[in-house]
Structure 1
Amino acid sequence: MKFKHCHDRLDGMPSPADLRAMLERREAEEIVRQRQQGLSKPIIGAKLNDHQIVGVGNTVYFSQDWKTFPDFLADYIKRKLDSAWGNAELAKPFDKRHPIMQWYETYCKYQQSVVKAPGVVHSCPITGVVTCYLGVAYSLFLLDHNVELQARLINRLKDPTQFQGAYYELIVANILIRAGFELTLEDETNGDAKHCEFAAVSKKTGKRYWVEAKMRAVNGLLGRTSNDGGSDQKPLRQLVPHLNRALAKPADDERLIFIDLNAPPLLMPDGTPGHFETALHRLEKYEREELPGGTTAYVFVTNMSAHRQLDETPMCAGAAFGLGIPEFGRPGVRRVIDAFKAKRKHIDAFDVAQAISRYSTFPPTFDGKLASDAFGRPSNRVLIGETYDFGDGVIGTVTTASVDEQAREVLVGVWTHDGESIIMKGPLSDDDLAEYREVPNAYFGRVEPTTKHPNDNFELFEWLMEVNAGLSRQQMLDWFGAHRDRAELEQMDDDDLRMTYCEGQIAAIESGRRP
Structure 2
Amino acid sequence: MTLARHEAQEFQRREQQGLGRPIISTEYHDHRVIAVGQTIHFSQKWKTFHDFLNDYPKIVLGKEWWMSEGNKPPEERHRILTWAVRSYEHAKAHMEQMGPGVAQPMTGAIGVYMRFAYDLYSLKHAVEVQKLLIDRIKCPENFPGALYEVQVAAALLRAGFRLQHQDETDRRTTHVEFIATDAKSGATYAVEAKRREGRRMNVNRQIHRALSKKSDHPRIVFIDTNDGRLELGRGRPNPVALVEAENLLKLYERDPTGQTLPQAYVIVTYDPDEHHLDAIDLPSGVLLWGFHIEDFHPGPKTLLQQVKIRRRHAPVFSLLESMQKHRRIPATFDGAAEAFSGGTPKARLQVGQRMEVPGPNGTQIEATLESCVVMPKSREAFCVVRSDDQQRFVVKIPLTDDELQAHAQHPKTFFGVIDKNAGRPRPKTGLDWFDFFWETYSSSTKEKLIELMDHAPDVERLKQMTQEDLAYEYCAQMANAMIKPQMGRM
TM-score (norm 2): 0.88
Once the 2 structures are TM-superposed, how far is the Cα of residue 345 of structure 1 from its aligned partner?
A: 2.1
Aligned to 1:226: none
CA distance in 1, matches of 2:78, 2:293: 41
| Moved >6 Å (runs of 4+) | 117-121
Aligned to 1:248: 212
CA distance in 1, matches of 2:56, 2:214: 36
Q: 2:350 aligns with which of 380, 383, 387?
A: 383
CA distance in 2, matches of 1:468, 1:408: 35
Once the 2 structures are TM-superposed, how far is the Cα of residue 461 of structure 1 from its aligned partner?
A: 1.0
CA contact (8 A) 2:433 2:482 kept: no
1:315-394 matches, within 5 Å, as 315-328=283-296, 330-331=297-298, 333-358=300-325, 360-373=327-340, 375-377=342-344, 382-390=349-357, 393=364
The 1:150–1:338 alpha-carbon spacing in structure 2 relative to 1, beyond 3 Å, is same
CA distance in 2, matches of 1:373, 1:313: 23
Aligned to 1:509: 482
Once the 2 structures are TM-superposed, how far is the Cα of residue 250 of structure 1 from its aligned partner?
A: 0.9
Q: 2:430 aligns with which of 451, 457, 461?
A: 457
Q: 1:186 aligns with which of 166, 169, 186?
A: 166
The 1:372–1:387 alpha-carbon spacing in structure 2 relative to 1, beyond 3 Å, is farther
Aligned to 2:37: 57
Aligned to 1:490: 463
Of 484-493 and 133-142, deviating more is 484-493
Aligned to 2:70: 90
The 1:138–1:442 alpha-carbon spacing in structure 2 relative to 1, beyond 3 Å, is same
Once the 2 structures are TM-superposed, how far is the Cα of residue 167 of structure 1 from its aligned partner?
A: 0.9
Q: Deviations over 1:445-503 (max 9, x none)?
A: 22233351224221221121102345454554444464544333333332222222222
The 1:379–1:65 alpha-carbon spacing in structure 2 relative to 1, beyond 3 Å, is closer
Aligned to 1:301: 268
Once the 2 structures are TM-superposed, how far is the Cα of residue 120 of structure 1 from its aligned partner?
A: 6.7
Of 66-75 and 487-496, deviating more is 487-496
The 1:244–1:365 alpha-carbon spacing in structure 2 relative to 1, beyond 3 Å, is same
Q: Deviations over 1:177-210 (max 9, x none)?
A: 1111111222212233222112212111222221
1:8-407 matches, within 5 Å, as 21-115=1-95, 123-217=103-197, 230-231=198-199, 234=200, 237-263=201-227, 264-267=229-232, 271-290=237-256, 291-292=258-259, 295-311=262-278, 312-328=280-296, 330-331=297-298, 333-358=300-325, 360-373=327-340, 375-377=342-344, 382-390=349-357, 393=364, 395-404=366-375
CA distance in 2, matches of 1:38, 1:501: 31
CA contact (8 A) 2:337 2:409 kept: no
CA distance in 2, matches of 1:205, 1:472: 23
DSSP 3-state at the match of 1:183: strand
The 1:84–1:205 alpha-carbon spacing in structure 2 relative to 1, beyond 3 Å, is same
DSSP 3-state at the match of 2:181: strand
One-letter amino acid matched to 1:282: L
One-letter amino acid matched to 1:343: R
Cα RMSD of the aligned pairs, angstroms, is 2.9
The 1:359–1:31 alpha-carbon spacing in structure 2 relative to 1, beyond 3 Å, is closer
Structure 2 unmatched runs, 5+: none
CA distance in 2, matches of 1:380, 1:50: 23
CA distance in 2, matches of 1:402, 1:338: 37
One-letter amino acid matched to 1:83: K
CA distance in 2, matches of 1:463, 1:148: 40
Once the 2 structures are TM-superposed, how far is the Cα of residue 295 of structure 1 from its aligned partner?
A: 1.6
DSSP 3-state at the match of 1:191: coil
| Greater RCO structure (CA 8 Å; 6+ sep) | 1
The 1:117–1:426 alpha-carbon spacing in structure 2 relative to 1, beyond 3 Å, is farther
Once the 2 structures are TM-superposed, how far is the Cα of residue 58 of structure 1 from its aligned partner?
A: 2.1
The 1:129–1:417 alpha-carbon spacing in structure 2 relative to 1, beyond 3 Å, is farther
The 1:293–1:436 alpha-carbon spacing in structure 2 relative to 1, beyond 3 Å, is farther
Once the 2 structures are TM-superposed, how far is the Cα of residue 244 of structure 1 from its aligned partner?
A: 0.6
One-letter amino acid matched to 1:155: D
One-letter amino acid matched to 1:457: G
Higher helix share: 2
Report % sequence identity: 33
DSSP 3-state at the match of 1:155: helix
CA distance in 2, matches of 1:33, 1:244: 39
Aligned to 1:445: 416
CA distance in 1, matches of 2:8, 2:231: 37
CA distance in 2, matches of 1:286, 1:430: 53
Q: Deviations over 1:284-342 (max 9, x none)?
A: 332234434572111101112211232321323211112222224x5555322222222
TM-score (norm 1): 0.84
CA distance in 2, matches of 1:413, 1:119: 39
CA contact (8 A) 1:316 1:360 kept: no
CA distance in 1, matches of 2:295, 2:407: 34
Structure 1 unmatched runs, 5+: 1-20, 218-229
One-letter amino acid matched to 1:276: L
CA contact (8 A) 2:175 2:214 kept: yes
One-letter amino acid matched to 2:324: S
CA distance in 2, matches of 1:412, 1:116: 41
DSSP 3-state at the match of 2:174: coil
Q: 2:473 aligns with which of 481, 500, 512?
A: 500
CA distance in 2, matches of 1:407, 1:500: 42
The 1:216–1:403 alpha-carbon spacing in structure 2 relative to 1, beyond 3 Å, is same
